[in-house]
Every structure is written in structure tokens, then in C-alpha cells.
Amino acid sequence: MSGARWWNPNASDGASNMLESSAKRSARLRELIANHIVVLPGAFNALSARLIEREGHEAIYLSGAVLANSVGGVPDVGLMTLSELRDHATHIANVTSLPIIADADTGFGGPENAARTVRVLESAGVSGMHLEDQEFPKRCGHLEGKRLVPAEEMCAKVAAAAAAKTSEDFLLIARTDARGVVGYDEAVRRAEMYIAAGADGIFPEALHTRAELERFARDVDTILLANMTEFGKTEYLTADEFASLGYDLVIFPVTLQRVAMKATEAALRTLKEEGTQKAILEQMQTRDELYDLLGYQMETPGANHPDPGRRP
């Protein structure tokens, strides 16, 4: 029976001091933004986060929709808690060295809750987060029927969150959903208010066209995050195109989850119809590829260790 060397968690890039790790990652994120647009694929679990880093991406996004869908198995309607987000973020920070921006929804309550959210996510190793100005329970930013809180209420949350930051580099982004509720001009007005309240950047959700995105970048002079989600209201643009319009960050929040779920659906149909997975073996990540991604190495035969590879 072949043996195995158990995986050594110290071989990962995750730092043992997560607060220090968060500060270092936040500083790295600021450096990246200063040089070029940063692309953030959305991780749906820690394994996918490892792959994001392996494939040469520079940062990771944690989507609230993905947290709800992949972790909770529920719609993105404000059902998940800060504790669940913290655990999700911690798993990912422990196995990657990349900066992480997390979707903190509406901050899980009022200003005091928003402040606590900053501290909790910093302690988990997160580099930045965004708060949104929707009423709770919130809705996906690209759906109809959203409702906004008063701008002054959102400013109070932003100010409390900004004051709670342990690292000055921690990136506090204010998201406004005003474009889809009351129009473009209100989105700009709110963005300026949120910057004055202490936001480091703005996430204008569900802008429609290239021209509108470019106009917003002219009207609001700050760090800007663009959401290049699929099947939404925003025109499909490349990262380079977003950069040319004046954006600093672009998230692809649900792309990996959507691809993975479509492939899983196809595999399940194959199993049901054919009773075997043989026809789709070439579409799979192999055992060796998985172990390589995990940093898990097999030893020579005869080693006195159990072989996890023999488990189902």
C-alpha cells in the first residue's frame, strides 16, 4: 500500500496572524490599484480560491450572492449572517495570499453593526469590503424592486465603518443602487456624500452602457469598482475597456459558480442517462491535479501513513 505525506497547513501562503495578514493584503491591493485595473474573480469556496491564485489572478472577490447560493443554498435576499461570511472568508484567506474584497451587503444592521463588520472581516484576513444603500432585506443589484435607505442613513454606516478600520489601507467601498431606483443623478449625489462620509471608493451598481460608465467616472473622482456580472443590466466590457473608462477594480462575482454549476448539471445528466462517468473523464480535474493544487504530496510505497486517496 502506498503511503502519503499528510498536508502541511504551514506550507500555504496564509499567515498565522490574520489581522497582520489583512493589513499586508490591503496594502498590496492599494499598490495594485495604483498601477493598473485589478480583476477580481469571485471564489465560491476555498478550493476555487486556490485555483484563482494558481492561474495568476491578483485578487479575489467574495460575492454575497455566491455566499447565499453556494454556501447557504438560498437566494440572495439577505438571509446570510456576518458569522457565515466570516467563516467563508477565513477559509479562503487561510489558503491564499491574495487580497480579498468581500460583499458585506447592508452591513448586517445599523452603523454599529457596520463597524463590527469591518473589524470581523479584517480579523478574517479580508482586504476590503463594500456596503450598499439598499433597505434590508436587500435584492440582487440587477433585479427590479429595490428600495433605498435615506442617503443620510447610509452615510452614518459609512462613517462608522471608516472609523472602525484597523488598517488605513483597508478598502471601504460604498455601493449605491440608486441608478436602478431613482436615476443616474441621484447615484452621483449619493456617491459624493458617501465619499465625504469616509468611503475610500464607490461601486455604482447596474450602470447600463459604456457611455454611462464613462460619464460616472468623470463625475465621481475616486477609486471605482465595476461589476461585470452576467445576464444583468451592464453592457459586456473587457477589463481593459473598464480601465480606459476610468475604473480601478472589476469584479466577476458569479462567473465561476455559474460555470461550475452548468458543468455539474451536465455531469449529473450523464450519470443518470448512462450510469457511468466514463464519457466525461476528460472534463474532470484529475486526482493528481487536485493534490497538486492542494499542495499534497504522495510518498514512496511502504510509508507508515494512511492513504486518504483510498477513501471514497
- Catalytic positions, please? 61, 76, 103, 105, 130, 132, 140, 175, 205, 227
Of the candidates 151, 89, 161, the residue with the CA atom closest to the CA atom of residue 131: 161
The number of beta carbons lying within 10 Å of the beta carbon of residue 235 is 14
111: its cell numbers: 452603523
Contact 63, 253 (CB under 8 A): yes
Q: Residue ranges of the alpha helices (H) in 36-174?
A: 46-54, 64-66, 82-95, 111-124, 151-164
Sequence-distant (6+) residues with CB within 8 A of 243 are 36, 37
Contact 104, 119 (CB under 8 A): no
Bridging pattern class, strands 128-132 and 38-41:
unpaired
Please state, in angstroms and rounded to a whole number, the distance separating the CA atoms of residues 64 and 104. 7
